[in-house]
A and B are shown apart, each in its own frame.
Chain A
Amino acid sequence: MLSMVDFNVISPESVDELILEIENNQSNNFRFGAGYTDLLLELRKQSGPKINVINLSKLNDAKFSAIEKTDDKIRIGSLITAGELVKNKEIQELFPVLHQAANSLASKQIRQVATVGGNICTASPAGDIATALVALEAICEILSTKNEIREVPIKEFMLGVRKTALKKNEILRSVVIPIIYADTKIISDFIKIGTRKSMECAIVSLAYHFLLDDDGIIKHSGIAIGSSAPTIKFTQGACDFLIGKKIVDFTDDDKKVFADKVLEYATPISDIRGSEWYRKKVLHNISKSILE
């Protein structure tokens, strides 16, 4: 119970050093350490051969550790913490869903160290930031030891519980969210179901981001569900259902049809946090609620 796997820490300070360390460790058992909120727990549970931890906290590189906005996109470095996301005004205005997701992650203390990259690469079906990024159809920018960038849509990046598209010689550098300008209105939020107000891992979560025109017609829709399947799901069918319609026009039957479409992507398990029945029931209820 006290045992902890033995580990070395290597702290590259530049991208060149980072690439070198990744290359050097290709035949070793190694992990990246950023906020350590998940990694430390994992290391405590593990035993076995020594692990090299490539510590990213000393890395000094804007692509990894800045939020950069251009006309058509926002790039978020993978070392950006949840706390930094919460404080960012542009994200708050353009992507309320991401702001809310970051703000509902764990607790305020943990948000100061937990990183965007960690939330994505842990590939938990319950990842709060990751669920919002799936709804926003973000693109992962992956750096390889060849110093090349490969782009992968986030919904294809997370392959299963703790499984990602990353190869051993790659690291997630940043994510890019395309900015689609709405004529008037953004309806965007993150609903996290848990039993208490902080320190929760979502029982289910729903991230949604709608863009409406002057007449209130939905022009763009992105919806993702967390803790409902082995990976976070983008609910394409439910998104399509909304396009070209007005929220005020939805009847109770429409809301139910919409919720049913969200549910088509949900294959939740029963575990100690919630049963399959509860997860489906509550996901259906909150799906309806966003059209109310």
Chain B
Amino acid sequence: MTKNLKIIGKPTPKIDANIRVTGEAQFGHDIQLPNMLYGAILRTKYPVAEIISIDTSKAKKLEGVKCVITADNIDVNNISYRRDHPILKKGQVNCIRDEIAAVAATSKEIAQKALELIEVKYKVREGIFDPFEAIKEDAPQINHFIDGKYPNKNIAEHFHYEHGNLDEEKAISKYIVSHRYTLPRVTHCCMATSNMTADYSKTDGKLTLYSTTQVPFLYQRDIARALKMEPSKIRIIQVVIGGGFGSKLDMYPYEPICALLSMKTGQPVQLIFSREEEFIASPTRQTMIYDVTAGADENGRFTFRDVRVTLDNGAYTSWGATTPFVMMQTFSSLYQCPACRFDSTSVYTNNVYAGSFRGYGNPQATFALERTIDMLAEEIGMSKSEIRILNANFKGEITKQGLHFNTCGHKEALETVIEKVKGHTHPLVPSQEWKTKRYKRGVGYASMLHVGGGAKIYPSDGCGTTLKIDPFGYLTIITGSSEIGQGSETVLAMIASEELGIDISRIKVINTDTDIKPWDVGVHASRTSFVAGNSVLGAVKKLKEKISPKAAQLLKTNVDDLIYEKGLIKSVINESSIELDKVVRAIHFKEPGELCIDTYFFEPSSEFADNEFKGNVSGAYAFASQSVEVEVDTYTGNVKVLDVYVAQDVGKVLNPLGLAGQIEGGVVMGMGYALLEELIVDKGMILNPNFHNYKLPTAMDVPGIHFYPIETEDSLGPYGAKGVGEAPLIPTAAAIANAVSDAIGVQIDSLPVTPEKVLRALEEKF
């Protein structure tokens, strides 16, 4: 990577920044189609009930109502990867999100009025809201659509992983700690609420969905399966997405419902969630209970981890149930660990179900592991920084789970944040004064490991790119990847600009239409810069193989002597040059009479995990460490985060501006998870479905965030880059909890660390 880079690594504003800040961007809420109807969904009044009857006759008679659907007048398949989720429910409801009926009407108000006119008779039943109750043998079956994969009727998903000899490692462990951790239910809080506009043509049987999905091709397949259609008759057009964060990785009932309303009426139908509905009916981060036992030898080297996780699956299954696939990597491979057993069970309850959320289980796993490491350090009497550096991962390490760390910035990241927090401006209150001082300060550390080069989960982890240079020298990148605000289209344009010497203002990125763009698995696993970036590089290479011979011919030089720069192709030998567009025109309009267009598909060299979940599933791995200083008010229990120091192995900085946005946004999201956010649920009801009582951090709460990129230049990444999107959120809550624990000398074992929990902990201590 000694190449002198022109735009890569330089702060570059997002190419979609202007339309976003001026309001020109077309979000789903802005779409208006001719003859468009408005859809609305009737949800259950009670989390658990038998449905005795549904009477839609009054709603149907209301003027302006075009269509009312219930489970009885639709022909569909169940959804979710476990196929355990009916789109509309009949006979019984199992959680407060349950969809019973839907209407399409000529206005939102009429649609709403129609919902009020639908009469549903319920027989309310007792629910089960605790996974430990639901897993008991005598508990009634909650979900009746499962396939009997597991002997216990309320188990939705189970993962078991192990490596090393647990008994031997336990035997040589001088120090062993055991602890239980409880992680809350939080939600994405996307600024744009869930939305869809469906447009079905009865003439040709084609369905166009203006959707916010972040996985358009998987979505096309899922919608087709749900609606019993041919996938290619479904066209997904991705609108500007007002926040994804993993929430749009799965398909939820409202989406096929909206499509069905359009199919029944033959008119476009738009369905938009209110904020309250968004809180109640959109996915959450998986709530779970961790039981962790871990050991260290006399020198502080980690020996084993024995982990049992119980996940509250909710009433149906979504991707939340598969988060153990990611969590087990943290336990098997973050810091060196000779023996590990990880066992997770996702249990059906009558609570709302979880989807995927930035970090995919990793913030929960990292919290449990990093809290345990602090407890081990205390047990040993070792410093919390030293024990981490001693056990840190290293370059060239092949973990027992089979992850290959070709590059690894773990130790450097740790050393950086340990050093930086030492030099902080806030003097620590001397420990002898702790008993008398109102404000106490503490420092906490945490690291994280996450895939950074895609994740081999689906049959393909690839991404296709088509490049087209027009006769005027402008480049169009048609990429399979999607922009959900993470800045990927800017990075892809930067890569193409770097390689072809075309100014970024002359590059267009087309990435929103499944009828046009080549296949891509979607936005997840922090993969887009790595996979789509490599795909662009591959396409550039192919395109240059077409352009360079012509340029060499025109410049009377060799192909190897050409450089692409500032819209020109230059010969480094005879210093002659020619405009790129001239070469394109020569190829197109003269000999050989071809378009300057080419397509490339990049598939990462990673491998699938075997049936023991072992294998090198990613092309690269990202590491990050954070150190946090907090101040705890022992009178009120309030925790003030003073500074967060972030050192992250990003491989290579592609766009410093975009990267800073990811880091700052991630840290603030992690801080919300640590201190404020929780969907409060009582017997299946959500008690705070609004921003008034669901506490998202505001700009006023943002601490000092200090970022130190670690550039390890991974040979497989574009210019050496790795995935960065999820990492900044993952260790934050763990580091904050560790800092609070350090400040007040009590163990923090659940999130969020509310003022009340802090005061109670202090009360119990003194």
Contact = CB atoms under 8 A, between A and B. Distances in A.
Most buried by B among A1, A277, A281, A282: A1
B105 to A, nearest CB: 12
B279 to A, nearest CB: 11
A199 B635 CA distance: 21
Contacts of B274: 1-2
A278 B701 contact: no
A289 B634 CA distance: 11
A248 interface: no
Interface stretch (B252-260, B358-366, B570-578, B689-697): B689-697
B700 A195 contact: no
A1 B281 CA distance: 13
B688 A275 contact: no
A88 B763 CA distance: 42
Interface string B673-711: 001100010000001100111010110110000000000
A2 B103 CA distance: 14
B277 interface: yes
A27 interface: no
26 contacts: A1-B274, A2-B109, A3-B109, A3-B112, A193-B636, A195-B675, A196-B697, A197-B700, A198-B700, A198-B701, A203-B755, A272-B680, A272-B687, A272-B688, A274-B756, A275-B756, A278-B755, A278-B756, A278-B759, A281-B759, A282-B635, A282-B636, A282-B755, A282-B759, A285-B636, A288-B635
A289 B700 contact: no
B106 interface: no
Interface in B607-650: 635-638
Contact of B676 (A196, A203, A275): A196
B276 interface: yes
Contact of B698 (A197, A274, A277, A285): A197
Nearest to A108: B700
Contacts of B638: 193, 195
A201 B692 contact: yes
B755 A1 contact: no
Nearest to A201: B692
Nearest to A200: B695
A195 B676 contact: yes
B754 interface: yes
A267 interface: no
Interface in B749-766: 754-756, 759-760, 763
A286 interface: yes
B136 interface: no
Interface of B: 40, 108-109, 112-113, 116, 274, 276-277, 438, 635-638, 675-676, 680, 687-688, 691-693, 695, 697-698, 700-701, 754-756, 759-760, 763
Contacts of B680: 272
Nearest to B634: A285
A273 B109 CA distance: 33
Given A278-B759, A286-B635, A273 B693 contact: yes
A60 interface: no
Nearest to B278: A1
A199 B692 CA distance: 8
Nearest to A274: B756
A220 B698 CA distance: 38
Contacts of A274: 756
Contacts of A193: 636, 638, 755
A261 B742 CA distance: 34
Contacts of A277: 756, 760
A1 B690 CA distance: 12
A14 interface: no
Contacts of A2: 40, 108-109, 112, 274
Contact of B701 (A197, A272, A273, A281): A197
A3 B114 CA distance: 11
A289 B760 CA distance: 19
B526 to A, nearest CB: 28
B55 to A, nearest CB: 20
B421 to A, nearest CB: 23
Interface residues of A, number: 24
A3 B113 CA distance: 8
A1 B277 contact: yes
Nearest to B116: A3
Interface in A106-152: 107
B637 A272 contact: no
Contacts of A275: 756
A256 to B, nearest CB: 13
A281 B680 CA distance: 22
A285 B760 CA distance: 13
A285 B755 CA distance: 13
Given A193-B755, A195-B755, A196-B697, A1 B438 contact: no
A197 B759 CA distance: 19
Contacts of A285: 635-636
B694 to A, nearest CB: 10
A196, A274, A286, A288 — most chain B CB neighbours (10 Å) = A196
Given A286-B635, A286-B636, 18 more contacts: A2-B108, A2-B109, A107-B700, A193-B755, A195-B676, A195-B754, A196-B701, A199-B691, A201-B692, A272-B688, A274-B756, A277-B760, A281-B763, A282-B637, A282-B755, A282-B759, A289-B438, A289-B635
Nearest to B754: A195
Nearest to A199: B698
A107 B635 CA distance: 24
A31 to B, nearest CB: 20
Interface in A184-201: 193, 195-199, 201
Interface in A1-24: 1-3
Among the interface residues B676, B680, B688, B695, which one has the most CB atoms of the partner chain A within 10 A?
Answer: B695
Q: Identify which of B113, B116, B688, B756 gathers the most chain A CB atoms within 10 Å of its CB.
A: B756
B86 to A, nearest CB: 22
Nearest to A282: B636
A255 B40 CA distance: 58
B276 A1 contact: yes
B698 A107 contact: yes
Nearest to B638: A195
Interface string A196-228: 111101010000000000000000000000000
A196 B693 contact: no
A72 to B, nearest CB: 37
Contacts of B636: 193, 282, 285-286
Contact of B695 (A3, A195, A282, A288): A195
Contacts of A196: 676, 695, 697-698, 700-701
A34 B568 CA distance: 64
A201 B276 CA distance: 19
Contacts of B276: 1
Nearest to A47: B116
A282 B636 CA distance: 5
B99 to A, nearest CB: 14
Contact of A272 (B40, B635, B693, B760): B693
Contacts of A198: 698, 700-701
Q: Which of B109, B636, B676 has the most CB of A within 10 A?
A: B636
Interface in A243-272: 272
Contacts of B637: 278, 282
A203 B756 CA distance: 11
A197 B699 CA distance: 9
A193 B636 CA distance: 7
Contacts of B687: 272
Contacts of B756: 274-275, 277-278
Contacts of A288: 635
Nearest to A278: B756
B753 to A, nearest CB: 10
B189 to A, nearest CB: 13
Contacts of B116: 3
A277 B754 CA distance: 14
Contacts of A107: 698, 700
A193 B116 CA distance: 40
Nearest to A45: B276
